[in-house]
């Protein structure tokens, strides 16, 4: 598989001879540049970006600028146009993904689609700042006051921004392009030097290790079975510094069964509204909810567009979480009731877990 730029996005890439073969890692460095890094052996070259080269509309990415490290690994950097229409990169890897840049500082972003567009509106009841303080306090307990911290399932970057404000060098990983577009917009406004990666948490890749990994808002529950969860835990252990810390939360079975159950939830705002139809299946501990969204058009305030999405999450017990943490090579440290220092209860709807790197 080779990488290329397809202006019309209707299938097929430009001829092979004009393409750069992208192996194993393609990263969005910022809204103006793409960093492509080749993998040799088991490691990556350092995360350095070198300006140079050019991308014309309708052309493929061309190998214009390169830098070779002492061990033979090569990095390529390609500046983006001021007003990019779409730059698609496909990486040659088993878990190939497409990274698309749809923004520039001088260019207004096109309308978002579906839930990402109104995510922040409906999540305004989440005490993100309180949660960020909680995470910061725990990190400080383990002498992590600064340095690289990864957020898995970063979404629109709310928590990523708050932790960056506290002095951490943040990396955000999410598999939703629409969510990351919003996160990038926040980054432009804040000026924080945050690296966002469009990757699945089950197959995320970094240049090297980080001091800590965090994951909030029950992102872990989107992993649908023990195998997927174990794989993520293994990757976390692999990319943590020695004795690095992993902090995450998850929704409990009690919340899915007793609080959400088979209920219908509706909320109306001036610019949008939603209907949440929940269904919890006890036999396989799967929670499925259908979201019906009505979002006010930016062009016509009297027009509301309807979107529908279906989401699935898996209920895990704390005992299962502990077992899979240890199976992945991490060390289980502690669990608390929803961003407190209290022990989890039967009626806990959300539980926070702390684990630690324990050898590769």
* pLDDT tens-digit readout, 214-235: 999 999 999 999 999 999 999 9
Of 2.160.10.10, 3.30.300.30, 3.40.50.150, 3.60.15.10, the CATH number of 114-253+316-356 is: 3.40.50.150
Domain chopping of the chain, boundaries: 1-107, 114-253+316-356
Q: Which long-range contacts (CB under 8 A, 24 or more apart) does 117-123 make?
A: 117/178, 117/272, 117/295, 118/271, 118/272, 118/274, 118/293, 118/295, 119/155, 119/156, 119/179, 119/182, 120/156, 120/158, 120/182, 121/269, 121/271, 121/272, 122/267, 122/269, 122/272, 122/274, 123/158, 123/217
Paired sense of beta strands 350-356 and 331-337, if any: antiparallel
Of 359 and 252, the structure prediction assigns the larger pLDDT to: 252
Look at residue 161 and give its three-state secondary structure. Answer: helix
pLDDT reported for residue 155: 92
Q: How confident is the model at residue 119 (pLDDT cuts 50, 70, 90)?
A: confident
pLDDT at 52: 32
* pLDDT tens for each residue of 270-283: 888 889 999 999 99
Is residue 255 over pLDDT 90?
A: yes
Q: How confident is the model at residue 84 (pLDDT cuts 50, 70, 90)?
A: very low
Single pTM value for the model: 0.70
pLDDT category, 114, cuts 50, 70, 90? Answer: low
CB 245 within 8 A of CB 138: yes
* pLDDT tens, position by position, 20-30: 333 333 343 34
The count of other CB atoms within 10 Å of the CB of residue 182 is 21
> What's the mean pLDDT in 52-61?
32
- Lowest mean pLDDT segment, chosen from 56-60, 122-126, 182-186, 319-323: 56-60
């Amino acid at each position: 598989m080779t990488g290329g730029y397809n202006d019309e996005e209707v299938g097929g890439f430009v001829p092979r001879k004009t393409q750069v073969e992208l192996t194993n890692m393609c990263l969005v460095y910022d809204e103006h540049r793409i960093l492509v890094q080749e993998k040799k052996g088991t490691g990556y070259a350092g995360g350095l970006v070198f300006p140079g080269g050019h991308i014309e509309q309708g052309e493929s990415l061309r190998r214009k600028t390169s830098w070779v490290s002492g061990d033979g690994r090569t990095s390529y950097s390609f500046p983006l146009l001021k007003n990019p229409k779409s730059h698609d990169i496909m990486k040659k890897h088993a878990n190939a993904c497409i990274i698309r840049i749809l923004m520039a500082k001088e260019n207004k972003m096109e309308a978002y689609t579906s839930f990402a567009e109104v995510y922040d509106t409906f999540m305004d009841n989440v005490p993100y700042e309180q949660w960020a303080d909680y995470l910061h306090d725990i990190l400080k307990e383990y002498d992590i006051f600064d340095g690289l911290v990864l957020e898995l399932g970063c979404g629109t970057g709310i928590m990523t921004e708050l932790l960056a404000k506290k002095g951490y060098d943040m990396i955000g990983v999410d598999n939703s392009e629409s969510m990351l577009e919003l996160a990038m917009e926040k980054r432009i406004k804040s000026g924080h030097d945050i690296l966002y990666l469009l990757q699945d948490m089950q197959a995320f890749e970094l240049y090297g290790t980080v001091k800590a990994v965090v994951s909030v808002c029950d992102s872990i529950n989107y992993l649908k079975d023990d195998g997927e969860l174990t794989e993520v835990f293994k990757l976390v252990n692999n990319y943590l510094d020695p004795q690095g810390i992993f902090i995450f939360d998850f929704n409990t079975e009690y919340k899915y069964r007793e609080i959400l159950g088979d209920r219908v939830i509706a909320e109306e705002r001036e610019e949008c509204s939603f209907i949440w139809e929940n269904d919890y299946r006890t036999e396989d501990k799967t929670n499925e909810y259908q979201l019906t969204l009505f979002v006010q058009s930016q062009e016509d305030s009297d027009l509301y567009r309807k979107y529908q999405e279906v989401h699935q999450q898996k209920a895990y017990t704390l005992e299962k979480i502990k077992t899979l943490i240890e199976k992945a090579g991490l060390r289980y440290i502690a669990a608390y009731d929803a961003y407190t220092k209290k022990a989890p209860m039967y009626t806990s709807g959300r539980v926070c877990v702390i684990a630690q790197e324990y050898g590769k």
